[in-house]
Structure 1
């Protein structure tokens, strides 16, 4: 579980098309009839608020569901209230149907650092950062929901970690998709003997890559704004390279799984979204190389992104 940025704005039209419409339905239909589904229309708005990550799984999901934190059976009056909705993977939503809200930690109250992923087991555990008054509820949540070590979640965690370790996903990209896995990776690096130096290097590299990704994405965004579709060969990644020995920052890039060494050269994929032509990828790579060179004090060069 991870912190959810609050508040998630109530979407336009929700009051009339869900809350008021649902309240009218409740007035005409007595319990125990399940309330009519007027909330799914706003599922994508909820997903955006959760950054497309499951509220309990804490990882990116392709298609989630609208969960009623207090179920319709428990709090029928909250069936159509935006504040009662959480974005969950479907199978996790199903696993909590018979649980009362008082038996579960609300994703909306979770703060950074309350949970962590242990490597290499990829199990979810509590930390000492959880307030004492909520610890028993947090422990109950891990017992009542299959979050700690269920194979379905562990498999997903392993997949995201593999994407990062194989260089298909930057550290920032991993943070966006699976924040707790990214924190576990940084902790693994910081646990080495040279922990202080590694932490400083990891932080500076992560910041440099984040800025490079932002600047490269701006180049691509400008192209996409002016062009309706990609003509010719499409590219889905922006690449840069550098030449040098196993010293900062190249050694750290390789150690962190962000760079792939080829002899005296190191290739780095800069995380960008969308599909774009090779010439646009190269322009974005030029900008990314400039940013990395400026931030890390080593000369980076643009590549065209072809495999």
Structure 2
């Protein structure tokens, strides 16, 4: 884990040490976001903005979003490369382990909450 500046310190020097501008992020996401400002603030994201296609395990914009929100979601997916091979492989491993009974839903919810939420939303798991 690392701490990312939501608004890049290279562009917003006055916010470099403001707690309100810090976001917890893994190092890879921090590096991919870099100084770009087209990634959604995690505090702003609402349920349903991102969805998971369980046949491909790719992240997609949620259904029925207003065009500007849908574009911002897609920009975030693209900027962070949320559908790269490493992420797809990780999602596949968690999903397969859950389906095979090797992981409980509780474990999935704790360690891979987006997948767990999508299984609930799509009616493939019980809370």
Q: Which interval holds the TM-score relative to the shorter structure?
A: 0.7 to 0.9
> Partners of 1:172 and 1:128 in 2: how far apart?
26
> Partners of 2:59 and 2:17 in 1: how far apart?
32
Alignment of 1:157-306 (within 5 A): 157-186=91-120, 187=122, 189=124, 203=126, 206=127
Higher Cα Rg: structure 1 or 2? 1
Number of matched residues?
126
> Partners of 1:114 and 1:129 in 2: how far apart?
9
> Partners of 1:131 and 1:105 in 2: how far apart?
15
TM normalised by structure 2 equals 0.85
Gaps of 5+ in 1: 1-63, 190-201, 207-307
Gaps of 5+ in 2: none
Alignment of 1:108-123 (within 5 A): 108-123=43-58
Which residue number corresponds to residue 17 of structure 2? 80
* Structure 1 stretches of at least 4 aligned residues deviating more than 4 Å after TM superposition: none
- Kindly state the Cα deviation for residue 129 of structure 1 after the two structures are TM-superposed: 4.8
**CA RMSD of superposed structures (Å):** 1.9
Q: Pick the aligned partner of 1:153 from 84, 87, 97.
A: 87
> Partners of 1:170 and 1:129 in 2: how far apart?
31
Q: Pick the aligned partner of 1:93 from 30, 36, 56.
A: 30
- Kindly state the Cα deviation for residue 188 of structure 1 after the two structures are TM-superposed: 6.0
- Kindly state the Cα deviation for residue 168 of structure 1 after the two structures are TM-superposed: 2.8
- Kindly state the Cα deviation for residue 136 of structure 1 after the two structures are TM-superposed: 2.0
The answer as to 2:80 corresponding to 1:141 is no
Q: Deviations over 1:194-228 (max 9, x none)?
A: xxxxxxxx54xx3xxxxxxxxxxxxxxxxxxxxxx
Choose between structure 1 and 2 for higher RCO, CA contacts under 8 A separated by at least 6 residues.
2
